[in-house]
Amino acid sequence: MPPSPNPAAAAEIHLHAPPSTDPPAAEALIRLAGVTVALGGRPVLHGVDLAVAPGEILTVLGPNGSGKSTLLRTLIGAVRPARGTVWRRPGLRLGYVPQRLAIDATMPLTVDRFLSLPVRRPRADKAAALAEVGLGALGRRQLTELSGGQFQRVLLARALLGRPEVLLLDEPTQALDQPGTAQFYRLIADIRARLGCAVVMVSHDLHVVMSASDRVICVNGHICCEGTPAVVSSAPEYRALFGLGTAGALALYRHAHDHGHDHAHDHGHDHTHDHAHDHAREAPRSRAAAPEETP
């Protein structure tokens, strides 16, 4: 169970480490403690405890409307929690790739200019960043002329120019086809290896996520389970959310009944079973692949 937040600090938002609360774990870059977020009076997240460690690839899974994007926006400071604390290491460099960016037709904006916002970057750096994300010399093109996939890569290139210590991506592969998605995750893994940055990523691509993440958290208004991909994919909370899809349903059904006693617990990762590993890998893959493989 998550530790209950310090009630004295619960009503405040701390952008820097306050002396009065527990210091965050030395290695954490961002830490949320007991965070509750309401948007327009509607509760979206409650009681979220989360620490982002340097260099890890952390994936946030969850159904539509579960608060995944809100969680990401809380991490970057765009959303103020109603309760709980948000701590970011002072001076932390964030790279954020939003899910969408609507460029108003009245704003002329070239790729080059966009890459220099808000901080001006040398031309050579911009060219290198575009090359790094697999784009050619399209610096002079208007943002509105790009395809969805190109646009997403330009957003990523812009985030990389800031040498981020944490790279946050909100459903970055939405505009990509399946090979493009696989390629994109390889790119992210390369970037992490080279920059050593932590990556926090919201995703729907269950099968890829499971192989590309160090840690997975499953969100549905709160964090319902977390751990390594193998652990999470065998958690009953995860199965309840990502459901008994068509092709994988039978395997899952068996799986669920093999470990029926899991349902008694709130947090499956507290009760991992040795034999869960037998199923951990194929279960999410078969389930996720099913809707995409049927024409």
Does 221 interact with another protein (rule: CB under 8 A)? Answer: no
Are the beta carbons of 31 and 87 closer than 8 angstroms? yes
Given 59, 66, 85, 150, the residue binding another protein (CB under 8 A): 150
Q: Which of 31, 46, 68, 73 binds another protein (CB under 8 A)?
A: 73
Q: Does 294 bind another protein (CB under 8 A)?
A: no
Q: Residue 61: which of 163, 201, 184 has the closest Cα?
A: 201
Query: β-pairing, 57-61 with 215-219?
Result: parallel
x/- contact string, 153-172, with another protein (CB under 8 A)? x--------x-----x----
Q: Pick the stretch among 58-66, 72-80, 121-129, 232-240 that binds another protein (CB under 8 A).
A: 72-80
List the one residue from 3, 7, 118, 295 that touches another protein (CB under 8 A).
Answer: 118
Applying CB under 8 A, does 135 fall inside the site for another protein?
Answer: yes
- The site string for another protein over 86-115 (x = CB under 8 A, - otherwise) reads --------xxx-x--x-xx-xxxxx--xx-
Instruction: Establish if 137 lies at the interface with another protein (CB under 8 A).
Output: yes
- CA distances to 128, 173, 228, 252 from 273, rounded to whole Å, are 47, 33, 14, 16
Could you give the C-alpha distances from 154 to 125, 133, 136, in angstroms and in order?
Answer: 13, 8, 11
Q: Which stretches of 84-223 are DSSP H helices?
A: 111-115, 123-132, 148-161, 178-195, 206-212
How many residues in total does the chain contain?
A: 295
Determine whether 6 is exposed, middle or buried from the number of CB atoms within 10 Å of its CB (0-12, 13-18, 19+): middle
Residue 150 or 220: which CB sits closer to another protein? 150
Site string for another protein, 24-63 (x = CB under 8 A): ----------------x-----------------------
Closest approach, Cβ 91 to another protein, in A, equals: 9
How many CB atoms within 10 Å of residue 217?
A: 21
